[in-house]
Structure 1
Amino acid sequence: MDPSTYKRYHIHGHDSRQFLEHYVSDKPDMVFGEDILMFPIKSLTNVFTEGHIKGDILFDISFGSQIHHLFAACEFFKDIIVLKVQDRCILELKRWVDKRTGAFHWGHAAKLHVDIEGKSHQSEDKELKARSAIQHVVKCDLQKENMTEPIVLPPADCIISAWLLDGISKDQDDYIRYLRKFSRLLKPGGHFILLGCLGITYYTVGRDKFHGFTYDENFARKALEAGGFIIDECKVHKRTAVSDLTDYKAMIFIVAHKK
């Protein structure tokens, strides 16, 4: 299939529930558990339990309607504000936050978190705390100067961006431009946590293939520096999943702070 025909996440959108079922569910045939669930959960839990990243406000500017990466943050920030580019993803996420019928089941991700924390009996508490912390889910337009116009958000103590840049960036300049926009949402010295896929060119949802921006660890480091960040930690997890749904080579996890 010609890569130029791949769809674009922020332009065409995708079936948010089908994406979750493919990549982060607890189904027996879901092969991405080690890469997309366990690696981020372990990495984020370790970072937040160190205790130096915390505050009042955390922005989550991430891909799709995934929230498993937020379970680690919910006890370290008073308010989590989630920014989404797609209405479908907002509806999917709000269905879970509001405990509506038919919401996606995140119990397996909550259990992974509490098992890592050594609190295996508290998975329901973890979901409750996450729901309480997610105060707002806001539509954003990444092309606008104020992405949440007409809403003006206060500066954040921390931003998590998981896999979004992989899906929306068309080239290196685009990736750096978005990083700079994210930097403007942070307080000076605020932390930025990035999760991404190295070497990806596509991912599949249903019958559709979607564009993935291809980059390596060296580019990710240089892009963050160009975006106004100082890197504190960087980890790479080589792919373990066997599947043709997507072709990423590894996962990257970076913690940085704004200059």
Structure 2
Amino acid sequence: MDCGPKKFYHKDDFDSRDYIDTYYSDKPGMEFADDSLKFPMMNCHYVFSSGFVKGEVLIDLSLASFVHQLYSACDVVKDIIILKLNEKCNMETSRWKGAHTGAFNWMHASAHAAKLEGKSAQIQDKEMQLKTAISHVISCDFENENITHPVVLPPADCIISGLILEAISKDENDYMRNLDKISKLLRPGGNLILAGLLNASYYMVGGEKFHIFKCDESFVKNALCKLGFVTDYCAVQRRRSESKLTDYKDVIFITACKTK
């Protein structure tokens, strides 16, 4: 299914609710739970609880409107700033944070986060803790050198980027340019967490095929190294779903320190 034109997440119409319903919900038979939810949450819990990542300010720059990768982060950082390239995803995230009618229900992710921390009885507390830690949901644009222009953000202690680089980059050079722009939001000595898909070319949303830049573990590590990052931790999991909605082979979680 790698033939024919594909849409781009940040340029074309993207149904945020359909995407999270398909890949992140708790509906019966949801095939992507191990790869899209449990794997990144387990690794986020590990790096934040073990002291790999420290600081006050975290920027999240992830695809669509998912927030499950942030539950462990709010135990460590005080201020979480979420950046979105897609206005619908911005609205979807803000609707959840404000507990508005029709917001996506992330309580299954709250429950899993509480379980990882050995606090299964504190699901509601975990949900509220994360919502309280999120100070801003801001639109951004990778066409600008400062992607949050005209807003200038304080250098972050940590950045989490989930699936964005693969979704918006056309080729290797584009990936490097976009990674560099993300890096500029991070202070020297800060940590970048990338959660992504390896050896993928597409994913389906609302019956439409969307682009993914195809890369492997070696490419991701080399890209980070070229921009002055040192990899501290990396985990790769072989794909566990059998759906034809996307063709990735593995999922990756990598934490790297910015040395300059």
TM exceeding 0.5: yes
SS in 2 for 1:74: helix
Q: Report the counterpart of residue 154 of structure 2 in structure 1.
A: 154
TM-score calculated relative to the size of structure 1:
0.98
1:191-230 matches, within 5 Å, as 191-230=191-230
SS in 2 for 1:232: strand
Q: Report the counterpart of residue 65 of structure 1 in structure 2.
A: 65
Deviation at 1:13, TM superposition (A): 3.5
Please list the CA deviations of residues 175-202 of structure 1 after superposition, one character each: whole Å capped at 9, or x if unmatched.
1111111111111100000001001100
Please identify runs of 4+ aligned residues in structure 1 that moved more than 4 A: none
How many angstroms apart in 1 are the aligned matches of 2:234 and 2:54?
19
Partners of 2:79 and 2:134 within 8 A in 1: yes
Greater shift after overlay, 33-42 or 53-62? 53-62
Partners of 2:146 and 2:181 within 8 A in 1: no
Partners of 2:236 and 2:252 within 8 A in 1: yes
Deviation at 1:30, TM superposition (A): 1.2
Partners of 1:166 and 1:214 within 8 A in 2: yes
Q: Report the counterpart of residue 80 of structure 2 in structure 1.
A: 80
SS in 2 for 1:77: coil
Q: Report the counterpart of residue 117 of structure 1 in structure 2.
A: 117
Please list the CA deviations of residues 59-92 of structure 1 after superposition, one character each: whole Å capped at 9, or x if unmatched.
0011110100011101211110000000000000
Q: Report the counterpart of residue 235 of structure 1 in structure 2.
A: 235
Deviation at 1:143, TM superposition (A): 1.3
Please list the CA deviations of residues 176-233 of structure 1 after superposition, one character each: whole Å capped at 9, or x if unmatched.
1111111111111000000010011000011100011101111011011112211111
Q: Report the counterpart of residue 183 of structure 1 in structure 2.
A: 183
Q: Report the counterpart of residue 129 of structure 1 in structure 2.
A: 129
Deviation at 1:2, TM superposition (A): 5.9
Q: Tell me the C-alpha RMSD between the 2 structures.
A: 1.0
* AA partner of residue 230 (structure 1): V
Deviation at 1:52, TM superposition (A): 3.9
Partners of 2:217 and 2:252 within 8 A in 1: yes
How many angstroms apart in 2 are the aligned matches of 1:118 and 1:128?
17
Q: Report the counterpart of residue 25 of structure 2 in structure 1.
A: 25
2:42 is aligned with 1:48: no
Q: Report the counterpart of residue 37 of structure 2 in structure 1.
A: 37
TM-score calculated relative to the size of structure 2:
0.97
2:251 is aligned with 1:251: yes
SS in 2 for 1:11: coil
Greater shift after overlay, 81-90 or 169-178? 169-178
How many angstroms apart in 1 are the aligned matches of 2:88 and 2:130?
20
What is the aligned residue count? Answer: 259
Deviation at 1:4, TM superposition (A): 4.7
Q: Percent identity?
A: 49
How many angstroms apart in 2 are the aligned matches of 1:169 and 1:4?
17
2:164 is aligned with 1:144: no
SS in 1 for 2:232: strand
How many angstroms apart in 1 are the aligned matches of 2:132 and 2:226?
35
Please list the CA deviations of residues 11-51 of structure 1 after superposition, one character each: whole Å capped at 9, or x if unmatched.
10310000010000000131100000000000000110012
